[in-house]
Amino acid sequence: MTTRSADPDPSMATRSKSSQRWLKEHFADPFVKKAQVEGMRSRAAYKLEELIERDRLLKPGMTVVDLGAAPGGWSQVVRRDLGDRGRVLAMDILDMPPIAGVDFIHGDFREAEALSRLEALLQGAPVDLVLSDMAPNMTGVDTVDQARAMYLSELARDFADAHLKAGGNFLIKLFQGEGFDAYVLDLRRRYTKLVIRKPAASRRRSNEVYALATGKR
């Protein structure tokens, strides 16, 4: 008796081709190459670098919290630009190799236990700047991914509400889609100014943008 192998799954072939295209684009990306040359942990570092320069986000002595920090590109930039003055606290569900001068909490920001550890490190000190580059694991189902992304955004907003000092600033990655407009409108009520940025290092095809809310009310 002979047997015949199962027909290949067309969706798997499509994903394979898509992955190959992504890898080819990734390694040809000038920001990826720049990160490798300059020793930055991710190309995302250049998104924050542009925003810091454009909007003058950092001052010596600031306390900065970096949510969704791994692999550490944003924390690298903040620690470098603050020099020896100020504190950087970072958290991610993924582990992150140590960065000198950065206090890292390995935990799930959605869980009370991880948030408590972050708050313990703060010791009640007010925060000057909250950064959130958090994103959910993508399923490929737009409605599911957008709902998960908005949930993380709401948690980050609530953390900023609780810990930012009056006049403090909040920078967050958002994905345009269901819930985006309402979220931005809500931030406008909580801060004196809000702008939407699309840094050069953010890929054009991506629906990600960065909301910068300044002057917490």
Give 102-117 pLDDT, tens digit per residue: 999 999 999 999 999 9
Check whether residue 94 and residue 28 sit in a common domain: no
Hey, which bits of 48-163 come out as E strands? 63-67, 87-92, 102-106, 127-132
Alpha-carbon separation of residue 104 from 70, 197, 209 (angstroms): 10, 27, 25
Structural domains counted in the chain:
2
Q: Is 74 annotated as a binding residue?
A: yes
Q: What is the pLDDT of residue 203?
A: 85
Q: Is 108 annotated as a binding residue?
A: yes
Catalytic residue (choose from 173, 193, 198, 216): 173
Find all residues with CB under 8 Å of 139, minimum gap 6, and list them. 145
Q: What is the pLDDT of residue 34?
A: 80
**What pTM, to 2 d.p., does this model score?**
0.85
Q: Is the pLDDT of residue 11 over 70?
A: no
Check whether residue 102 and residue 20 sit in a common domain: no
173 given a catalytic annotation: yes
Specify if 165 maps to a domain: yes
Check whether residue 76 and residue 63 sit in a common domain: yes
Q: Is 72 annotated as a binding residue?
A: yes
Check whether residue 80 and residue 139 sit in a common domain: yes
Check whether residue 125 and residue 180 sit in a common domain: yes
Q: Is the pLDDT of residue 202 over 50?
A: yes
Q: What span, in angstroms and rounded, lies between the C-alpha atoms of 128 and 160?
A: 10
Considering only CA atoms, which of 15, 54, 38, 24 is closest in space to residue 212? 54
Element holding 117 (H helix, E strand): helix 112-122
Q: How confident is the model over 108-145, as pLDDT tens digits?
A: 999 999 999 999 999 999 999 999 999 999 999 999 99
In this structure, what token pair is assigned to residue 160?
Answer: 């900023």
Q: How confident is the model at residue 41 (pLDDT cuts 50, 70, 90)?
A: confident
